[in-house]
Structure 1
Amino acid sequence: MAFGLVTFLSIVSVTGIVYVNMRETIKDNAVTSVSDSIRQADESLNVMLEEIDRLNTVVVTNKSTVIDTILSPNEEPSYEWFQEQKRITEFLSGLTKYKPYISRMAVVGLNGKVFFTGGPWMDRSVLGTPMLNYMLLNGSRHAYFKPEGTADAITVGREIRYNSETVGIVMVDLDYEFIKKTYGVKPTADSMLYVLDEQNGYVYQSESSPSSYAPPLDTIVEIKREIAGHDTVVEQKINGRSYIVVSRLSEYTGWSTLALIPLDSLLSESTRIRNLMAEVSIIVFIVILIASHQVSSRSTLNIRRLKSMMMQVKDGNLSFPKTEINSKDEVGELYRVFISMVDELKRLMEGIRTSEKKKREAELTALQAQIRPHFLYNSLNTIKYLAKLNGVPNIEEVSGSLIELMRGLLGNSNEFLTLREELDYVYSYISIVKYKYLEPIEVHTQIEDDALLECRVLKLVLQPLVENAIIHGIGPSGEGGYVLIRVYAEHHDLRIEVTDNGRGMTQEQMDALLGDMGKEDAPSRFSGMGVRNAHERIVRMFGETYGLSLYSEPGLYTKVEIRFPKIQHAEQSEQEVV
């Protein structure tokens, strides 16, 4: 439907634009054609009138043939008069010869003498007529006259003067047929063309104009006044009908030419073409709509299939019957991706089910693990209580220390402890291990500032080092010894040193102790972490600038230095982690 709507709007837009442009083109072409025709007709008429003016000039300036004949005392029907008439008639005939647009040329003397060539007949009755009076009044240069009610000719006249007095008139009749041919401009059958003289009289009027549409002379004169100008094109309503009015003013004769072109007639062909375009557009739209429906149905078939499969997955059915979509387009790619996603979803669901099963098993194991330490605490407390009742303080001390040590190991899940808590675990461990050896092992601590005891350190980092010093450094000698734990601050770091006076280590042993990747420190079984593990934990947590350093001399001592960032608050411990 969207494609059909876009197509419909496109067709309507294109059709409308074509129709509007076609109307404007027809109007412009008609105006151009009429304007050019009027201009050519006006120029052709001016050429003929100029030629007539030149002939009149030849007549009025010919004294021996024209002026002397008019002023001659010879009267009709004398022989002398006949000779004069023959001479002037031959002169006029010579002038009008090969001038088919001249129907008659006449010389009329005010004394009653009339000479002419061509037709119609003319005699002295022309004296006193409106035409002659008009010529006498306006013919100092040239005058144009068209008798009202006639369509035979246009008369062009000029005074004949002698000794500053008017003695006659020379008149040339322009054949009206030539004017009709010259102004035969008709872009449509009912177009009208009018030529008006300076007195607003008709010089020419289209004879083929339908009388029902032809406006009267008053209306034409009013239009002429409204559009006064040399070359004007306007659209105007006349008697309720729209016209294109093209006007031209002749600079030579002063005549105004008006062409009236009815818009409905001019655009009748464009209206027919518009209706044809509308019919074709509707047919094309219907064909496109049907074709687009068929194409869209085929194009969306696979989409509907894919949608059906997706809805089944939405409803939780991952084992739906698959409809193969083998197309190579985007829908085919979506289908293959969707199927792979469903298969992956099945695998993940199966994994989730397995994970949930293992999770339930782990929860059961965790519950059992919670029960076992609790049972162990109760058992150790019982041993401690019995040792106290039986007066065995060493067993009571070992049991109490073991309880505290296991509570720290199993009951405290925090990764960071205060240094004070970490030293307490060390003391608990020493209370247990000292009964293993006959000779006493002394453990001393040196704290530079008691405030350092509140600094945060990694859990169970110090105890494995003390354990390693006792078991590997002092224990093998069997002669007792001491362990010194020194705590001090250096710049923004916390430094802890664990020094024993045991048998010491070689450089190879120290390298092996810190570089034996992947092997557990076997003697440190109680804590489950060795020197290497403690070093790696510190490095992973705080970076390469921190960790453990070993210093030893065989047979003399072993010193382990621990470098921590100085962390005084629990929030700061989270920020220092790298």
Structure 2
Amino acid sequence: MHERYRTRTRIFWKILGIVLISIIFCVLVTSGFMYFYMKPLVENSLIEKRRDMVLNLSEQEVNTLEEISLYAMNITFDDTVQNIFKIEEPENSYMFFAQIQTMEKKLKEYQMLYGGLIQDIFVVDGQGKVLEMVNTYRDLVGEEPYKEFMKNERISGFTPRYIFDYHGIIGEKNTIAYVNEIYDKNGIKVGLGKLVILLDTENMDAALMSDEELYLRLTTPEGVTVFDSLTGHEAMDPIYMDRIGETGWKVEYRIDNRALETVIRRMNSMVAVTIGLILLVMLSFMLLVLMRIISPLDTLIRGMQSVAQGSRTEHIEIHSQDECEEAADVFNKMVESIEKHTEQLVDSEKKQYEAQLKMLSYQLNPHFIYNTLNAIICLARKCSYEEIIDLTKAFIKLLQSLLRTDLQAMTTVEMEKEYIDNYLHVLQMCYRNVPDIVWQIQSGLEKREIPRMILYPLVENSVFHGIVPSDKTCFLHIAIKEKEGWISVSVEDNGIGCTQEELMEIRNRLESEKVENHIGLFNVNGRLRLIYKNSRPLIINSREGGGTIIQFSFYDRKI
């Protein structure tokens, strides 16, 4: 069983290993090819996606700023704004301040239309003075962004970002100013002053700052930076640059590699999980296929091992509709053929063996008759007619039993004891020192069947080779016992016995079945093998103190 399991395990693991290695190789090669082919595409797709997002956000910002510039131009043509430059009242007069107040009110109305984006609107005259009721923006013209704008003699445009202090009103504010030249709408290119719109960059930049991993710089057509989260991060990744629309706006941006790496890692994880799932599914499917292949092979191996251990009735059923089923059919036919040939061979050997034993029986009967007739001659010399009659009667009874040539004839233990006692009676008339037999028969075995006259050769051997040649008082003991279905028989005497050399010679001849002058002993072994499937042949041992013990046993559970 263990060897069969090891054989199955070796076949299973060999096939599994080969197929698994092939599957893993194919999956890894295919996955690797797809991975290295798809990775650049994914990276480019991610970059393009981020680029589209940057352009969309920047375009929204530019559209808002350009809308502010158009809005500012419309404000400059408002009559209220135009009239502030046409009054002839002194600057400190009531009418002058009233006009400024009216203009500020009007500008507040314009501001409210973009309340979430425009921080404030004010007007500067041609001498650079802020026209206002409260001196909120008078210092603005002296600040660097405004001075830089004026130095370039630009008519309109955006200033760089700067921090403007509203003197405690709302505190410091990060802002961008859009400056637009105010022309006399009734004149041709007659400059009156400038309109300044302060933008609330917090609201304006909310969309651009929604993605913390997005770094960009937005520049006007004049080269003024209106938004910059790129400064300080230029060296980390490649910088990309795109133009927005046809007005000349430019955006520079960096796509954070960490975002790409996160996506790539996620893709790697998905590829790894996919490969694992594919391998798991294919391995499960392969195990099912292998079991369908291995199970028939295992059945074949089990059947072959059963036949190798002696079974001739093994029949296996395999319905795999492939070569394994054909092999099973061939195996069944082979077992049937082996069984048929084995039966023929056994029958032939049995017949041959029976013929040999009958020949030995024919040798045995004259041998016994010769011994008995010698005994009768001895009695006739003594003129013991009554004893001759008794001996002749006993001899006739023995002949009735011995002349039957059926080697498998059975008798009871009780009848066998009577045969042997008659035989001993004959011998006692011829030899003075032949003792009575001491029988030791286990209770319950009297009616048990044993081969007829199986004890005769053993008793004869003890008498003529052990007791008769001895000059001392001898005994002859026969024991028949049963244990767990095994019937054991022993014949023991204290005659002259035999030397170790003689004992070894007898044992060797019995094992090699060389008959020669041990016909009786060979007859016992042959009959035991012929009648019983399980038997233990004759065992001859020297008895301590002289004599021999001959034993045999056979298995015949009938009790």
The reply to whether TM is greater than 0.5 is: no
**TM-score calculated relative to the size of structure 2:** 0.45
**TM-score calculated relative to the size of structure 1:** 0.43
